[in-house]
Amino acid sequence: MKLVSFQHGGRDRFGAVVGDGVVDFSGTMFMETLYPDLVGVFAAGAVGELRKAVDGAKPTLGFSDITLNLPIPHPGKILCVGRNYRAYHEVQEMGKAPQWPSIFGRFVDSFVPHDAPLVKPNESDQLDYEGELAVVIGRAGRHIAEKDALSYVAGYTVLNEGSVRDWANRGTQNCPAKNFWHSGSIGPWIVTADEVPDPSKLHIKTRINGDIRQDGGTDLMIFSIPYVIAHISKFTWLQPGDIIATGSPGGSAVEMKPPKWMKVGDALEVEISGVGTLRNTVVAE
């Protein structure tokens, strides 16, 4: 099942993709009272209710009738795993993986949804792309055992972790480079975990204007999704709706000689097998 958050009639709503449209779950008083959004659905353990409601249903809205929001419009936390693929040249040169994952946070307003414009900032011409599988947490947990970690996952979505590379070299700080306003994107939907039985066997392709820039599988992750969930839960509570970006395969613009930064007018596509395709176009700030 593909779950979406969207705007229609001036209101934030949520639903499921059916055929070439959407079933609007937020259109009934029952749903509005119990589950105001997808975070409420996950927190209540009510994904099964949505699955029953969508069985045999016909779309109530077309995609042309709605504007997609971020899959989780207001996540409590967005956490990213840096350099988590063996394709990165640092890992190849070292001959061994790092001992611990690199974890950093991103602000929600550094992302835009599917079909919304990515913004190349005035401050830099070095806007990069990073296609990633993102995990959406479905229930609260702390000190989660690695063997149990996938049971805390509500589903998966596609994420472009846009980075402004020259700002990463301004001192030792990583936060500004990873948090420029509207530099990344997430979407178009959340595929529920039951439809992705093994997230370590997915394929990621990132295209710029149709040209394949990234092409790799999630089997190349250094730190697996269960490990990352368990690791993060050691230092913070994971809550329904939290998002974890799991890293990007090689092929980012910064790795090219010369680098091929995203430009105004470029069309970005990040496609993940079994999950979906995220699309955005780059505009000037």
> How far, in Å, CA of 148 to CA of 16, rounded?
27
SS (H, E, C) the chain: CEEEEEEECCEEEEEEEECCEEEEHHHCHHHHHHCCCHHHHHHCCCHHHHHHHHCCCCCCEEHHHCEECCCCCCCCCEEEEECCECCCHHHHHHCCCCCCCEEEECCHHHEEECCCCEEECCCCCCEECCEEEEEEECCCECCCCHHHHHHHEEEEEEEECCEEHHHHHCCCCCCHHHCCCCCEEEEEEEEEHHHCCCHHHCEEEEEECCEEEEEEEHHHECCCHHHHHHHHHHHCCECCCCEEECCCCCCCHHHCCCCCCCCCCCEEEEEECCCEEEEEEEEEC
Q: What's the pLDDT at 27?
A: 65
Asked if pLDDT for residue 42 goes beyond 80, the answer is yes
> How far, in Å, CA of 255 to CA of 248, rounded?
12
What percentage of the chain exceeds 70 in pLDDT? 94
Name 110's Cβ contacts closer than 8 Å, sequence gap at least 6.
162, 178, 179, 180, 181, 182, 183, 184
Asked if pLDDT for residue 46 goes beyond 50, the answer is yes
Name the residue ranges covered by the structural domains of the chain.
2-68, 78-284
CATH superfamily of 78-284: Fumarylacetoacetase-like, C-terminal domain (3.90.850.10)
What is the average pLDDT across 256-280? Answer: 97
Joined tokens for residue 108: 């929600």
Asked if pLDDT for residue 130 goes beyond 80, the answer is yes
Joined tokens for residue 237: 């509570």
What is the average pLDDT across 58-73? Answer: 96
Q: Tell me: the pLDDT tens digits for 207-262?
A: 999 999 999 999 999 999 999 999 999 999 999 999 999 999 999 999 999 999 99
Asked if pLDDT for residue 95 goes beyond 70, the answer is no
Joined tokens for residue 146: 């690695």
Which band of pLDDT confidence, cut at 50, 70 and 90, is reported for residue 98? confident
Joined tokens for residue 206: 């990132």
Which band of pLDDT confidence, cut at 50, 70 and 90, is reported for residue 48? very high
Q: Are strands 118-120 and 276-284 parallel, antiparallel or unpaired?
A: parallel
What is the average pLDDT across 184-205? Answer: 98
> How far, in Å, CA of 53 to CA of 64, rounded?
23
Q: What is the CA radius of gyration of the chain?
A: 18
